[in-house]
Structure 1
Amino acid sequence: MSVTLRQLQYFVALAETLQFGAAAEKVHVSQPALSLQIKAMEEALGARLVDRLPREVRLTRVGQEVLDRARRVLTEVGDLEQSVRWRDGLAGRLRLGVIPTVAPYLLPMALTRLRARDITLDIRIREAQTTTLVTGLRDGRLDAAIMALPLQDPGLTARPLFRDRFLLCGSPARLDSLGQGAEGLRPQAIAQDQLLLLDEGHCLADQALEVCGLRSRPNVDLGASSLATLAGLVAQGFGLTFLPELAVATELRAQPDLALRRFDAPEPGRDLALVTRSAAEGAGWVDTLAGILIDAGGAALALARDATLRKP
């Protein structure tokens, strides 16, 4: 009896969740069916892959080795399927991941352009933090993802899209209190106790700490999970935060009292990229998708600049 791809998929799901019930739900099968396939896989390999504990499972040493190989096999199979599926270019089904601080601002324009190009394109969106998207790309559950650089994964390739600059936002009174120093507005001049950031895990929060020269998060931790929440708080005078230019037009419409100031050059920002598995590098569909995203990003940034200029 040979190990099947289905068994490899079930085993990887079990290794990631460490619970039979959660793993079964993840791969859309019943728990007994998944348990049976894992047992059959162990019999085929002649080794125990997991220790079954009362409330969870734990990978054995052999199980850890098999997990690494299983992921590689599934990635290779995914690349094979992808090369066939995309032989006619950007068509069929696109599984696209996007980080949360980009999704609500770029996707409306990007999806409109994708639909205009091919109304039959089946687009599946996954909004998640960077670590989750990287795992999805490696495991073949995503075809591509939009995230911020830098990217440190040898199995993935980044196609640069555009630079998204940061603006300082808060209430008019709080921004006026900063004054205008001789060197202009610098991120390093923002007091740590005034800075509000997103939850840990959001790359935007890490980038904000870096540009401010801070090694730790501020003492005030509101647990905000979205830029919209932060914009609403600072508009009412609760501190200051960084707002990516991509989000400016949307958040100004939602928060008319929000005030904005640009930093002096060199302006801080983030570089957004389209990330795929390295096997897709040079594929025509990647260039097509990147071109559409660059165009959509340019339109979104133009709206942001216009909204900033019209802001009294």
Structure 2
Amino acid sequence: MPEISSVKLIVHASIIYYSYRTIMTLTELRYIVAVAQERHFGRAAERCFITQPALSVAIQKLEEELGTAIFERKKHEVTLTPLGEQIVQQAQRVLEEAERITIIAAQGKDQLVGPLRLGVIATVGPYILPDLVATLHKRAPKMPLEIEENLTANLSRMLKSGRLDVILIALPFEESAIVTQPLYDEPFKAVVPVTHPWAKKTRINAEQLSREQVLLPHAGHCFRQQVLDSCPELSRSDMEGIQGNSLETIRQMVVSGLGITVMPSSALTAKHQNKRLAVVSFAEPMPQRRIGMAWRTGFTRPAALEVLRDAVQSLKIPGLTPVTSS
């Protein structure tokens, strides 16, 4: 009986060892990815800082344990088998996720290390991101931005699901478990063809818009609603005419003489000037919007949010007035 028990114990231990060994290591995954990318065992070995024989033995052992060939070895060429293609793709994903563990750990020590996933509404992104990216790179060089430009409703869903860390949107923005902070106020201005009677005016009243063909983004675009909220007269006029998907499309429509439009100041700086268009300010009370940032209550990198806020408020974009928190 003791002999039978000993045999059972040995078999059980062997099964445990075999099961353990079939769980490949990250090092082995790096080996097969290197060979797949280099298509050469010698170059892959140099890249992995081991000898070519050691690399070949490690990969052959892994193939034996998996019960399938990953590579086809020819005299002057190394190619992936059809199944090997899938294995290498999965290995790359595993290595990327493992790298994220390192990033998460680093962020625990320094919140300005690792990507910040930033969502921006489409009527803000094109006009502040070029300057913002450069400013943030100087202030937090180890915190690259991963940018998503989209509509407010889509950004909200992505923020709640954890796919984004923080979003720049128009306020008010009230959602459960979401915190907001104002960043800046931005006045609106009218944009008309240079041949329009308003082109020589310095100011107009918002009420005058109701008598014009005003081109705005389509329904669902938050900027459209911002303009309608600021200029209620437009809501009572016929707004079912020509619409555009972006401010730049609408700008070109105005150039073509299809109507006039209203744009935020950031879209009307010198770099966006068009000689065929005139920009006219509104009389007080001037229509405007407030842009803010929003994030989940449980977000664990407050230092990253602070750097982002300071970077946005430091931008020297004409017309933008930073909002100081109370």
Provide TM-score, normalisation by structure 1. 0.63
Separation in 1, partners of 2:152, 2:188: 19
Alignment check: 8 A CA contact 2:187 2:288 kept: yes
Q: Which amino acid counterpart does residue 146 of structure 1 have in structure 2?
A: L
Larger-Rg structure? 2
Separation in 2, partners of 1:264, 1:272: 21
The runs of 5 or more residues in structure 2 that have no matched partner are 1-102, 321-326
Separation in 1, partners of 2:122, 2:113: 25
Separation in 1, partners of 2:120, 2:155: 8
Q: Structure 1, residues 77-96: CA drift from partner, whole Å, max 9, x if none?
A: xxxx9898465222211100
| Bigger Cα displacement from structure 2, 84-93 vs 270-279 | 84-93
CA 1:174–1:290 in structure 2 vs 1: closer, same or farther (change >3 Å)? same
Alignment check: 8 A CA contact 2:112 2:142 kept: no
The counterpart of 2:191, out of the listed 161, 169, 182, is 169
The counterpart of 2:128, out of the listed 82, 106, 112, is 106
Once the two structures are TM-superposed, the CA of residue 239 in structure 1 deviates from its matched residue by 1.2
CA 1:292–1:177 in structure 2 vs 1: closer, same or farther (change >3 Å)? closer
The counterpart of 2:306, out of the listed 287, 295, 299, is 287
Moved over 4 A (4+): 81-84, 177-180
CA 1:288–1:217 in structure 2 vs 1: closer, same or farther (change >3 Å)? farther
Once the two structures are TM-superposed, the CA of residue 192 in structure 1 deviates from its matched residue by 5.3
The counterpart of 2:215, out of the listed 196, 219, 231, is 196
The counterpart of 1:158, out of the listed 176, 180, 189, is 180
Give the aligned partner of residue 301 of structure 1: 318
CA 1:104–1:98 in structure 2 vs 1: closer, same or farther (change >3 Å)? same
1:205 aligns with 2:224: yes
1:137 aligns with 2:159: yes
Alignment check: 8 A CA contact 1:157 1:277 kept: yes
Separation in 1, partners of 2:177, 2:105: 16
Alignment check: 8 A CA contact 2:188 2:265 kept: yes
Separation in 2, partners of 1:220, 1:261: 24
Separation in 2, partners of 1:123, 1:227: 24
Once the two structures are TM-superposed, the CA of residue 172 in structure 1 deviates from its matched residue by 2.2
Alignment check: 8 A CA contact 2:266 2:319 kept: no
Q: Structure 1, residues 187-233: CA drift from partner, whole Å, max 9, x if none?
A: 12212551111011111101111222143673443331111111111
CA 1:177–1:137 in structure 2 vs 1: closer, same or farther (change >3 Å)? closer
1:119 aligns with 2:141: yes
Separation in 2, partners of 1:188, 1:130: 27
Q: Which amino acid counterpart does residue 161 of structure 2 have in structure 1?
A: D
Once the two structures are TM-superposed, the CA of residue 269 in structure 1 deviates from its matched residue by 0.7
Give the aligned partner of residue 67 of structure 1: none
Q: Which amino acid counterpart does residue 188 of structure 2 have in structure 1?
A: F
Separation in 2, partners of 1:257, 1:272: 29
